[in-house]
Amino acid sequence: MNTSIYIAKRYLFSRKKMHAINIISGISMIGVLIGSAALIIILSVFNGFEEVILSLYSNFTAEIKIEPRLGKTFNPNTVYFQSLQKNEKVFSFIEVLQEKVLVKYDGRPFIGSIKGVSAQFMKKGGLDSIIQIGSFTLKRDGTNFAVIGSAVQSSLGISVRDQFTPIEIYSPNRTAGSGASALNAFTVRPINTSGVFALGPEFDDLVITPIDFARDLLNQPVNVSSLELNFKKGTNIDAEQNAIKDKIGHDFTVKNRAQQNTELYKTLNYERWFIFMILVFVLIIAIFNIIGSLTMLVMDKRKDIAILTSLGANKQLIQGIFFFEGMMISIIGCIAGIFLGLVFCILQQRFGLVKMGTDKSIIDAYPIALLLRDFILVFLTVSVISVIASGISARLSIKGLNDIKQDL
């Protein structure tokens, strides 16, 4: 065994005496332990929230979305689009017609967007997970219904249970001339609501209806705003996206989920690293306490250092003793902290020890998602900071070495 490591281990684990220095070293180790455990737990909780949020968006957004590069609508009745609809890998092929509209309820106006969707939109499943009131029903017994975003509902005070007061949706009349009266300038269609959903600011102003209702309102019997595709499990989405891009040409954009919700994915990524940096800062403070404990150890072991140098130990060996002691304190604390964090996360996953504290939450307890990269990241972070802190302590250990020899 390396001499420096052997002596460092003896200093750290000696059972003959329990000095204040040993207690301070233990406190430093506990600080690293708590910091490492906190990093693992909070990153895992954040991963859990990310999975929950993305799963909710995944229930609503399509895996692939095709839109015209120029203009608002296009004709979906082409040979390629029809062949795409019959593709065995495609689970649902959804025609979407979307446009800005004026929504009125009981005399109160709201500017939102209507999103007419074809019947295969309901094949997704999991849509009820985003519903706050009512149900996600677009057609019942041949009658059209609308599912509205929470922004629409809160602005207009819409009661889903009131089926005697429908919402009225206004859209500019495409066939009206410039001299048309105010009455004829807009097409108005009433529709009852079946549910209210909440997903995010970019979706909560939507009024989702069957596409035939939107076609009638917008006077668009053929064209669509976009096509939304979902694929069967096991399908390589990236490969399908590239294949569609190659065949569809430059007149259309083909986006996957991340490209459809770029702001969401950026926000989640920024928040993750912001939280990580805050915790790393706390961990740096805990690890740099090691410098203080090692400095005290150097003062306590002045006689030992002088004896070792008299026996021929060089500066590198002396520095190595205190460097490896600092590394031992940090790495042991880190491994113990990672283990405790892992145990807590497993218990939280199975038993939901820490609750969300609200009955209206989609999930009862804080979600957990364990990722190997987080464990590697925490270990490497602690190791790098420990090397710096231990290196500083090791350099301090040989200061005044000549004075120590003379004192002996």
* DSSP symbols for 151-186: HHHHHHT--TT-TTS-EEEEEE-TT--TT--TTTSE
Q: Are 174 and 218 in contact (CB under 8 A)?
A: yes
pLDDT for the residue numbered 392:
85
Q: Are 204 and 152 in contact (CB under 8 A)?
A: yes
Q: Are 200 and 157 in contact (CB under 8 A)?
A: no
Residue-wise pLDDT for 136-180, tens only, equals 999 999 999 999 999 999 999 999 988 889 999 999 987 765 655
**Beta carbons within 10 angstroms of residue 57's beta carbon:** 18
Burial of 163 (0-12, 13-18, 19+ CB in 10 A): exposed
pLDDT for the residue numbered 187:
92
pLDDT for the residue numbered 254:
96
Q: Which residues of the chain fall below pLDDT 70?
A: 1, 11, 14-21, 176-183, 357-362, 397-408
pLDDT for the residue numbered 329:
87
Burial of 88 (0-12, 13-18, 19+ CB in 10 A): exposed
pLDDT for the residue numbered 232:
93
HSE, CB side, 13 Å, CA atoms: give it for residue 134.
23
HSE, CB side, 13 Å, CA atoms: give it for residue 166.
13
d(CA 336, CA 32): 9
pLDDT for the residue numbered 66:
96
pLDDT for the residue numbered 318:
79
d(CA 144, CA 278): 51
Q: Could you give the angle at which helices 315-351 and 372-397 cross, rounded to 10 degrees?
A: 150
Burial of 253 (0-12, 13-18, 19+ CB in 10 A): middle
d(CA 193, CA 289): 61
For 307-337, give one letter per residue: b (16+ CB within 10 A) or e: ebbeeebeeeebbbbbbbbbbbbbbebbebb
pLDDT for the residue numbered 400:
57
d(CA 395, CA 372): 35
d(CA 249, CA 233): 27
